[in-house]
Amino acid sequence: NKPSLSQCYNLMDFEAVAKGVMKKTAWGYYSSASDDEITLRENRSAYQRLWFRPRILVDVTNISLNTKMLSTLTSMPFYVTATALGKLGHPEGEVVLTRAANMHGVIQMIPTLASCSFGEIVDAATDKQTQWFQLYVNKDREVTKKIVQHAEKRGCKALFITVDAPQLGRREKDMRSKFGGEGSSVQKDDDGVDRSQGAARAISSFIDPGLSWKDLPWFRSITSMPILLKGVQCVEDVVRAAKDPNVDGLVLSNHGGRQLDFAPSAIELLAEVMPVLKAQGLERKLEIFVDGGVRRGTDILKAMCLGAKGVGIGRPFLYAMSGYGQDGVERAMQLLRDELEMGMRLLGCATIEELGPHLLDTRSLGQH
Ligand code: FNR
């Protein structure tokens, strides 16, 4: 009794379908967030405290959603962000996202912890597609160097170093469903990986908690890809990154609420950050992206109004893939395209460049 794809009218509909069709362990891994999931909830509710200031009598016959992210011209102002373990949702895993992204001219960020091999995901892309690479930094820097240089050699156009995960967050839904041993009391499998703490903990033991600002010159020395920090959560760190010659951009993100609970939403942080960067003359130094809780075209427009270069979307595409494979992801992207076009028209903007803070009322933003 799964609804047909044409009965999915928005991105939330895919979540309901996924919950119904996915294995409990897989659902637990995708949907969970840390502790009481307050940040997860806040990621949605922050967008709901922002109101538009629509303009009338603007010629909106033709709407263009084209925009540039990190020098790449892209068809819409969002990208598929990195999410681990794609095969929990679909037997073919991340390449499903690659193919759907190609159909819509959307950029994909490849995760270090993909289920498919890196090569499979790169091979699945067409020549005109752009892929970025998300890096979890291995304690063994020789391994890290190999991974990064291989990504560059295979054509990845940017390096996103995840900086919000020196330890993976405690996601109780994921732990309760005991990934790898549903219903069993087995704590360790044959491979010696302790899965009793859920999927997230099982796969993350190699990540280096010693990673620090001091490592950034080294990254600059091993790659010429733009370097971005994914998971910046505080204005002071944004300013520091802006002054660091090794950083080209960042993603304001709380990892979809999966790391520190009570970390702020990216959109609220963006509203705080942009005026500070401007006041210090640093606003052109970095390309700033946001992710977390983006579910509607209007959410994307709000982020673009506040100065983001683009937004990342995670779970909705995983859910669409889990429910309907590539067709589902394509439909999710089409729904966003339709919502973006309508939103722009009703807001009185024909191009992405016309979006700006003058179109937003942020007065309610600080009221939690
Ligand atoms: C993630 N995210 C993530 N981030 C990262 O840097 N490396 C990773 O391996 C993963 N893996 C991952 C798995 C799953 C199942 C989820 C839901 C998320 C975080 C991701 O890149 C992004 O920050 C959030 O998903 C954005 O929030 P939404 O769009 O899911 O609300």
pLDDT in tens, 9-19: 999 999 999 99
Q: Which two tokens stand for residue 209?
A: 């908690």
Distance 285 CA to ligand 1 centre (A): 26
Averaged pLDDT, 158-179 = 88
Question: Residue 249 contacts by C-beta under 8 Å, 6 or more apart in sequence?
Answer: 70, 158, 226, 227, 228, 229, 286, 287, 288, 289, 309
User: When comparing pLDDT for 19 and 195, which is higher?
Assistant: 19
**What pLDDT does residue 206 have?**
87
**What pLDDT does residue 197 have?**
57
Of 255, 289, 295, 318, the one to substitute when testing ligand 1's pocket (max ligand atoms within 8 A of C-beta) is 255
Q: Which two tokens stand for residue 44?
A: 């949605």
CA 91 vs CA 116, 195, 259, 302: distances in Å: 10, 21, 27, 35
Confidence of residue 305 (pLDDT cuts 50, 70, 90): very high
Task: Specify the residue for token string 């067409």.
Answer: 126
CA 176 vs CA 29, 113, 195, 243: distances in Å: 10, 22, 11, 43
Averaged pLDDT, 314-332 = 98
Confidence check: pLDDT of 195 > 90: no
Residue 290, beta-bridge partner list: 252, 311
The beta-strand segments (E) located in 31-122 are: 51-52, 67-69, 72-74, 78-80, 107-110
User: Which numbered atom of ligand 1 lies nearest the CA of 230?
Assistant: 6
The answer to whether residue 255 is catalytic is yes
Distance separating alpha carbons of residues 101 and 336, to the nearest angstrom = 13
Distance 342 CA to ligand 1 centre (A): 28
Distance 313 CA to ligand 1 centre (A): 8
Distance separating alpha carbons of residues 95 and 352, to the nearest angstrom = 29
Give Dmax (Cα) for the chain: 67
Q: In the predicted model, what is the mean pLDDT of the chain?
A: 93
CB 78 less than 6 A from any atom of ligand 1 = no
Q: Name the pTM for this structure.
A: 0.94
Distance separating alpha carbons of residues 199 and 29, to the nearest angstrom = 6
